[in-house]
Structure formats: structure tokens, C-alpha cells
Chains A and B, each alone.
Chain A
Amino acid sequence: MHLFLLIGLVAFSIMAVLSRDLLKSAISLAVASIFLSLVFFRLGAVYAGVFELSVVAGLITVLFITAIALTRNDGDVAESKRHLIVFPLFFLALAVLDILVMRKLLGQIPSIQGAESGSFSQVLWNQRTFDLVGQVGAIFAGVLAVLALFRPEPSKGDSHE
């Protein structure tokens, strides 16, 4: 079951890359996110799964579709068809290499006893408080960036050569 979810994730990611229509790409990406959040649920990371579902499969997909709608041009070039030939070769080579390396590493990684941790809310608010400061800063930066890029033109006309 776990393997099926992982294969589904990879399959829809490939579809997102190879799809020639941008909208289909974005939707494939959303479906891949759903598979990933199911993987998270199966591994026991419920909060991460919920977040992945609501933010990545929801918010980011909406952002992508908005951007795609705002940039509809006529005469946009579609991707060339040769990707349909090159990519499977590339992917096959990557998968073979991957399996070989992982086989070699099997059982070679020693394990250490992990540290004990508390409940989720305790970890988030007490142990990783500094991360929250960082998140706030990153959100500020993103909001200010969008404001800066979409600010109204100054009345003097074009300001910079």
C-alpha cells in the first residue's frame, strides 16, 4: 500500500512535467500533493499530512492557476515532443542507478536512539519557537515582495532606465 502511494506520487509528478498544457500540469501537481499527504498520514505524520493537503494541494495550486490565467498569451510555444522520448530514457537510467545505490546502502546505516519529544503543540511552540520567528519573517518577506512588485506606477512616469 505504501509502495503504491509512492509510485502514484512519482507517476503524477512525471505527468506534471511532461504535460504540454499548463493547466493539466498544475492539476497533476495537485494530485501528486494529495498522494504525498496520504504517504504522510500512513507514516503517522498527521499534522504534516493535513498541512500538505491544505496548503500545497490547495493554496499553491490556486496560486499557480491564477498565474496561468493571468498570463494567457496567444502564440505561446508548446514544449517540444522530443521530451516524450528523452525523458523515459533519463528516468530509466535514474531509476536503475537509484536501485543499485540503495541496495548497496541497505543495512549499512547504523541507528542511534532518537531523542524523546513531547506532544506536537509542545514541540512547535516550546522547542522550535525560533522557527516561528523565522516563519513570520518569511511571510513578511513574501508579502512585501508581492507589494513591491505590483505597486502602482509613480505619477512621474517610468522611473528607471
Chain B
Amino acid sequence: MLFLFIIVPLLLAGLLPLLGKLSKRFLPDLLASAAMLFLLVLSVVSAKPLIAGGGIIQQAFWFGAPLNIRLLLDGFSLFMLFTISLISFAVTLYSINYMEHYGAKANYYALLLVMIAGMNGLVLCSDLFNIYIFLEMAAIASYALVAFGRGHEELEASFKYLMLSAVASAFILLSIAIVFGVTGSVSFGAVAQGLKTLNIKYVVGFCSALFLAGFGLKAALVPFHSWLPDAHPSAPAPISAMLSAVLIKVSGVYAMTRIFLNVFGLTPALTTVLTVMGVVSIFVGALAALGQNDIKRMLAYSSISQIGYVVLGLGIGTPLGILGGLFHLFNHALFKSLLFLNAGAIEQSTGTRSLDKMGGLAKVMPLTATTSAIASLSIAGVPPLNGFWSKLLIIIALVQAKMHVLAVLAVLGSVVTLWYYLVLQHNAFFGKLNEAWKGVKEAPFWMSAATVLLALLCVVTGLVFPFIIKSWLQPAADVLGQGISVALNFVGF
């Protein structure tokens, strides 16, 4: 049944170009949204066997005959699956209206489905090489999606993204090859066992450095972040939301964390490197966002900053730190996608992305302004919205781990975040209504529906966060906290 997470999007992606000839709009919209809703429900239902405890390995079936595919589902995977399904559903609803003026909707949905199939496959695999191949699958789809509008800016951004991302994938594959050469296998269990019994510090260190470079680029950590401020603004708004909210987390943070915490084992050297990279990302992203005029570019730099928080939390390695990092990952998916979708609504209505030219839009687009305000307050860490709690957990974990300097820096980063989001809200929505925007209308129905859904989730997550932590964040954090033993459990399956 877990195999459906990958097969359903892939099959639909294969059928859509054919169906697109029949019905240009209605059928692709309907099928894509139905598929996303199905995956969302499936991810909630899949939680049931997990509650019995521990991870499960499920064999995939194809019309009754067993395939030799074993999918691994544990707390961390389920958490990522739910996040991916939720954001994909909101983005698909939004695309019903937004992609009208791009045309070729069937092709767009097909690419989006392939990207989602790739991400789902990545979180369900138990093998180093499978991670690489599903990573590439999602990445190829994302190169095409960034360039979808075929304007000069988009093509240039997509090309730079492709070049850097291909080099990162090559580094990851080289590291996998070296690990294979040393331990003789690529599956998690065998590698973990092999690395434990051997004593080859230099090789493990070199492989870790290669993984850090490769996955760090996919996650847009400093100093590998330069592709993100070009790629995310140029993409169509729903794709910017998908990239910022999900893809950099799944292909970057999830893969890196899974390998470092469950296969290699978190050493003090790794903790130092990850936390330092996290804090540097927080500051570079936040300070660069301050000076931006283009709204989507500001949001892109903000993504770099918030991913810094996630990696900081996960890098500490203590249970509370991991919990904070994972919670912030989920929260950021919620509010960053909401912010990008709203920026897309503004761009579609007013035709500009420049904050200088906007002004007073709250009077003509009240729904967009409200949801955007909720998202801005959440990401800045204002209680009782969700961003506050996740940042608080990370800062407490830092203090507990005696990293006081980093804790102070994290708080400072949060203050800067609040500052530039207030600037964004003020310039775009409040203040005097610019004459040019008098006739602007509110965003169409499906776009508003998607943004309202995400905004409600931000508020609800903030209010009931103890329940959320207990029910599904804690199992995910536990899996990571157990370290190598998780991988060793699956040796020889």
C-alpha cells in the first residue's frame, strides 16, 4: 500500500499528456487534485500500523504478485510524507487558477506529479543509491518546472540551477561509490554495520564532507546557496512554493539527516559543522533579505535563513533539538508556501513583484492581506502562532547543550526576521493605496481556498502544538534520536 505513494503520481503523470489532448483544463485539474487528496488521506491512514510501535518494512505488490521492493516507513518518513502531501494538495488547488495564463496545464501537472513521486520515493527508501535516483527524478522535474514560463529570466535561472545541482548530485554519487567500495553494499543496514566495524576515520570524514557539499547545495545552506535567490523567484508561484517549502527540505535536509543520524552516526565534529553552517545561513539569509525590493527574492532569502534554523536544531543532536528542528521544518513548509502563494496572487493581480510599486493592497485584496499577515507573524516567531514554539524549542535546546553564543545569535536572527517581514507587510499591504491598483480584484476562488487552508493550519498548529508534538513529531524525533541502531535493525532484510 505504501507503493501507491509512488505509483499513483507516476501513472497519472504518464496518462496526463494523453488526456490533455482530450480536455485541456477540466480533466487535468480534477484528476490532479483528486490524486493529491487521495495521497493526503493515505498518509494519515498509514499512521495506523506505526502506532503499534517501531518502523515497518512493507513489501510492494503488483496485481497480487510480490515485487522485490521493500519500502521503509518509520516516524520520520511518515512525518515527511504527511508534509509533502499537505503542501502538494494546497499547491494543486492553487494551480487550478494560477496556471491559466501559462497554458499547457496537463504537462505542468504531469511534471509536478513526477516531482512528488520522486520526493515520496526518497522518503520511503532504505538504500543509499535509491536516495540518489529519486533525488535526481525530482530534480529533473524541478528544472523543467522552474523554466516553465520560457521567459529569458526563467531559462537563465533554471540553467544555473541545473548546473549547480548536477555537480551536487555528482558529489553525492561519488560519496556513495566510495562507501560502496569500502563496505561492499549500499543499503542502510549493511553500510551502518560496515562502518561501525571498520576504523577508517579519514574515508568516513571525506565521504561526510562530500555529502555535506552535495546535500548542502540541495538544501541551500551557505556557502552553497547561490542558486536559490535566482531559481525561486523566477519559477511560477505554485512551483516556488513547492520548491521552497518541500523540495529543498526533502532532497536536502531529509536525506542529509537520514544519512548522518541513522547511518553514519552524529559525531561532535559533525555537530559543530552543522550548527555553524546553520547559524551562518540564518544570518546571511536574513541580512540579504533586508535589502530586497522584489518580494519573491526576499522570500527566497528568507527560506535560506529558516532552513538554517532547521539544520541548527537537527545538528545539535539532543532530543529537544531534533524535535525543534523537525517542528520548524513542518511550520516553515506551512508558512513559506503560504507566503509564496500570496506573492503569486499579488503578482497576478497587479503584474509587479516590486515592493516599491505596491502599496495599500489591503483595501482591495483583504483575504490575501489577512493570510499574508498570519504567515508573516508566524514566521517571525510571534506567540501563540506556530513559528514561536518551534524557534523556542531550538533556542532552549541550544542553551541546554551549552551553546550559549549560538542561542543568542539565533534570537538575533529571529529579530531581523521580524523586521523584514514587517517591512514586507507594510510596503505591500498597508499604507496608502497606490492609484494604479484601484481596480484590482481579490484572488480567484481556488487560489484563495488554498491560502485560507494553509493560514488556518498555521493558527491551529500554533494553538494545539502539545498535541501535535506528542502525536507525530515525537515518533519522528525518536527515530532520529536512536541513531545508528535504526539502520542496524534492518540489516539483511
Contact = CB atoms under 8 A, between A and B. Distances in A.
| Direct A/B contact, Cβ within 8 angstroms | yes
Given A130-B130, A159-B149, A149 B185 contact: no
B144 A138 contact: no
Majority-rule SS of B interface residues = helix
Q: Which of B17, B140, B154, B194 has the most CB of A within 10 A?
A: B140
B137 A137 contact: yes
A105 B199 CA distance: 14
A154 interface: yes
Interface stretch (B102-110, B271-279, B312-320): B102-110
Contacts of B107: 144, 147-148, 151
A54 interface: no
Contacts of A142: 140
Interface in A130-145: 130-131, 133-138, 140-142, 144-145
Given A137-B137, A144-B107, A160 B101 contact: yes
A115 interface: yes
B107 to A, nearest CB: 5
Majority-rule SS of A interface residues = helix
Interface in A13-43: none
B203 A159 contact: no
B250 to A, nearest CB: 15
B144 A131 contact: no
Contacts of A138: 133, 136-137, 140
Interface in A112-160: 112-115, 125-127, 129-131, 133-138, 140-142, 144-145, 147-149, 151, 154, 159-160
Nearest to B155: A149
Interface in B93-120: 101-104, 107-108, 110-111, 114-115, 117-118
A137 B143 contact: no
Q: What is the interface residue range for chain B against chain A?
A: 35 or more
Given A112-B184, A115-B190, A160-B149, A137 B10 contact: yes
A114 B104 CA distance: 50
Q: What is the interface residue range for chain A against chain B?
A: 20 to 34
B200 A109 contact: yes
A125 B69 CA distance: 10
A76 interface: no
A148 B144 contact: yes
A110 interface: yes
B144 A151 contact: no
B121 interface: yes
Contacts of B101: 159-160
Q: Which of A129, A131, A134, A151 has the most CB of B within 10 A?
A: A134
Contacts of A115: 184-185, 190
A161 interface: yes
A136 B10 contact: yes
Interface string B1-17: 00000110010011001
A141 B111 CA distance: 6
A145 B143 contact: yes
A148 B111 contact: yes
B182 interface: yes
A125 B68 CA distance: 8
A144 B183 contact: no
A151 B104 contact: yes
Nearest to B107: A148
Contacts of B130: 130-131, 134
B103 A131 contact: no
B68 A135 contact: no
B151 interface: yes
B137 A160 contact: no
B351 interface: yes
A138 B132 CA distance: 11
B144 A145 contact: yes
A160 B125 CA distance: 39
5 contacts: A109-B182, A127-B68, A141-B140, A145-B141, A160-B149
Given A148-B148, A160-B150, 17 more contacts: A109-B182, A110-B199, A112-B182, A112-B197, A126-B68, A129-B67, A129-B69, A130-B127, A131-B133, A133-B10, A133-B69, A134-B136, A138-B137, A141-B144, A144-B13, A147-B107, A149-B144
